[in-house]
Structure 1
Amino acid sequence: MASTETPTGVNGPTRAQIDARTLRRDRWWLSPLTTFVVFTAFVIYATWRAFSGAHYYASPYLSPLYSPCLTNLCVEGASDFGQPFSWWQLSPALLILIFPLGFRMTCYYYRKAYYRAFWLSPPACSVAEPHKKYTGETRLPLILQNIHRWFWYAAMVIACVLTFDLVLSFRNAEHEWGHMGLGSVVLLINVVLIWLYTLSCHSCRHILGGRLRHFSKHPVRYKLWTWVSKLNARHSLLAWASLFSVALADLYIYLLSTGVITDVRFF
């Protein structure tokens, strides 16, 4: 018996019946290809570093991939919040990376980016996707994207922890205050970008200004909503910048820990 299911997506009855994959003449494939290459490189690097469980602390600097370090496998000086998960015997990074990773994976911008680059859904505007059926984010596993707001709360906590790590970086290797090295600058740039990316999130904008009937009755929230809305316009740029800053901060600390380079001390 022939199927009576109505086609969806580009084959739907309301879409233009064009046989060509696209009528675009520009290099539309360049953007998804770049995203695919960069994301793949970051995933490979972050996976290697997360599972290595080593060279993530060079006093007084702690890698953002391992912060907070909460297990008894953490090297001396890295556990600023204690070791409450002493039973965890895998890499300490694997215990906490689920939160920043979950925040980024469910991020509205990152969804667009990896849907296009990895699933070709669609690969670009005005380019037909190869999938014949579209269900949106209504079924497993994509329905889990709807917990993005809860990951945003966790991301705010992580941003506070990274800020605390930044404060601790203004010490020397013996933990004496009043010192500053190049590592402090690297961590400062990373923390600023992390905060800007987190605060520019669509969920943050909705939490501040959503469901308000009258902005005039909530001047503080309106002011915050206005500021976050300006950041939100640059959310994609901040998503990329903060991704690079996390990797570079970790790489800098890795090179310090392995003795490949030495920290430049300003005072």
Structure 2
Amino acid sequence: MATGTEPPDTESHTVRGGVRTGTRAAIGARHLRSDRWWLAPAGTVAGLLAFVVYSTWRAFADADYYATPYVSPFYSPCLATRCQTMQAGPNADLFGSWWAISPAIIILIFPLGFRLTCYYYRKAYYRGFWMAPPACAVAEPHGKYTGETRFPLILQNIHRYFFYAALLVAGVLTYDTVLTFRDEHHRWGHMGLGTVVFLVNIVLIWAYTLSCHSCRHIVAGRLKHFSKHPVRYRAWQLISRMNARHMQLAWASLFSVALVDLYVYLVASGAFDDPRFF
């Protein structure tokens, strides 16, 4: 007869697998959370899938990505000769006529790699897709946790290198934003609604890029004496404050870059004319 002081029957109550092993508390329930914890990962899945579907469609569309003076960030810089046939302006011609697929495939590798390996996005798709774990205090369903020690997740460690590529991409998009102040005759003094859209996007792109954990470490992560490096210390403080908003900046910049591409697409396809302020 149980007296109430005996240890629980771990063999009959413990659900084995993942982190729920015999060394853990013998609780039969998968978790004890009563709130709607699944809303956050579900929202993450919905948001990221929406962007993936849209960006994939636009990347392979290979059309309507240039409307003077706007060029879609998905296609900039235009590195294939075939961009000239789309009247997308000057290009570097690094890829000759043999490049038969959309020029966007060349470009999107770098910002996509930066975001996929970003520390915030790791949390987002680890919880939303990989379910490791799906939420705090909710056990993951995997039988074994290996972290980022095996392929393909070990590739997450190259994030710092994608950061340098992201700086180049942000520089190119800054140049494109400056060019939105020119009209179709390449004269300065133009400003349309698209110019405003581009300006908002580039501010968010730079804020997201510079708030990256890798940027924070590069600026002053290895310093032993902040007092000997006051400029780098102040830069580190600024980036640290931005880093606290890295999640919000990640989502805002993700949708802003899609909005810019959508705006260029609508103008280039003739859906409406770009409203001009002057």
Q: TM-score surpassing 0.5?
A: yes
- Alpha carbons of structure 1 residues 104 and 244: separation in structure 2 relative to 1, 3 Å: same
- Alpha carbons of structure 1 residues 218 and 171: separation in structure 2 relative to 1, 3 Å: same
Unaligned runs of 5+ in 2: 1-15
Q: Do residues 221 (structure 1) and 232 (structure 2) align?
A: yes
Please report how far the alpha carbon of residue 80 of structure 1 lies from its aligned counterpart in structure 2 after TM superposition. 4.0
Q: SS state of the match for residue 128, structure 2?
A: helix
Q: Do residues 247 (structure 1) and 258 (structure 2) align?
A: yes
**In 2, distance between residues paired with 1:79 and 1:95?**
17
**1:38-117 equivalent positions in 2, closer than 5 A:** 38-75=47-84, 78-86=88-96, 87-117=98-128
**In 2, distance between residues paired with 1:38 and 1:196?**
20
Please identify, of 87-96 and 248-257, the stretch whose mean Cα deviation from structure 2 is larger: 87-96
Please identify, of 17-26 and 212-221, the stretch whose mean Cα deviation from structure 2 is larger: 17-26
Q: SS state of the match for residue 55, structure 2?
A: helix
Tell me which structure has the larger Cα radius of gyration.
Answer: 2
Please report how far the alpha carbon of residue 18 of structure 1 lies from its aligned counterpart in structure 2 after TM superposition. 2.7
**In 1, distance between residues paired with 2:87 and 2:269?**
17
Please report how far the alpha carbon of residue 174 of structure 1 lies from its aligned counterpart in structure 2 after TM superposition. 2.1
- Contact kept, 8 Å, 2:20 with 2:139, in 1: the verdict is no
**In 2, distance between residues paired with 1:218 and 1:104?**
30
Please report how far the alpha carbon of residue 137 of structure 1 lies from its aligned counterpart in structure 2 after TM superposition. 0.1
- Structure 1 residues 195-219: Cα deviation after superposition (integer angstroms, max 9, x where no partner): 0000000000011111111111111
- Contact kept, 8 Å, 1:104 with 1:110, in 2: the verdict is yes
Please report how far the alpha carbon of residue 8 of structure 1 lies from its aligned counterpart in structure 2 after TM superposition. 8.0
AA partner of residue 173 (structure 1): E
- Contact kept, 8 Å, 1:8 with 1:134, in 2: the verdict is no
- Alpha carbons of structure 1 residues 218 and 8: separation in structure 2 relative to 1, 3 Å: farther
- Structure 1 residues 37-79: Cα deviation after superposition (integer angstroms, max 9, x where no partner): 1111110000000011110100100001111111011145535
**In 1, distance between residues paired with 2:234 and 2:130?**
38
- Contact kept, 8 Å, 2:80 with 2:93, in 1: the verdict is yes
- Structure 1 residues 126-166: Cα deviation after superposition (integer angstroms, max 9, x where no partner): 11111110000001000000000000000000000000000
Percent identity over the alignment is 66
Please report how far the alpha carbon of residue 21 of structure 1 lies from its aligned counterpart in structure 2 after TM superposition. 1.5
- Contact kept, 8 Å, 1:68 with 1:80, in 2: the verdict is no
Q: Which residue of 1 aligns with 2:180?
A: 169
Please report how far the alpha carbon of residue 222 of structure 1 lies from its aligned counterpart in structure 2 after TM superposition. 0.5
- Structure 1 residues 81-106: Cα deviation after superposition (integer angstroms, max 9, x where no partner): 42121242210000111000000000
AA partner of residue 11 (structure 1): R
**In 2, distance between residues paired with 1:115 and 1:259?**
40
AA partner of residue 114 (structure 2): F
- Contact kept, 8 Å, 1:60 with 1:171, in 2: the verdict is yes
Q: SS state of the match for residue 90, structure 1?
A: coil
TM-score normalised according to structure 2 size: 0.90
**Match for residue 222 of structure 2 among 211, 229, 235:** 211
TM-score normalised according to structure 1 size: 0.94
**Match for residue 43 of structure 2 among 30, 34, 39:** 34
Q: Which residue of 2 aligns with 1:198?
A: 209
AA partner of residue 85 (structure 1): F
- Alpha carbons of structure 1 residues 188 and 132: separation in structure 2 relative to 1, 3 Å: same
- Alpha carbons of structure 1 residues 78 and 17: separation in structure 2 relative to 1, 3 Å: farther
Q: Do residues 10 (structure 1) and 19 (structure 2) align?
A: yes
- Alpha carbons of structure 1 residues 57 and 15: separation in structure 2 relative to 1, 3 Å: farther
**Match for residue 189 of structure 2 among 178, 182, 194:** 178
Q: Do residues 134 (structure 1) and 145 (structure 2) align?
A: yes
Please identify, of 81-90 and 97-106, the stretch whose mean Cα deviation from structure 2 is larger: 81-90
Number of residue pairs matched by the alignment:
261
- Alpha carbons of structure 1 residues 14 and 204: separation in structure 2 relative to 1, 3 Å: farther
**In 2, distance between residues paired with 1:191 and 1:257?**
20
Unaligned runs of 5+ in 1: 1-6
- Contact kept, 8 Å, 1:50 with 1:65, in 2: the verdict is yes
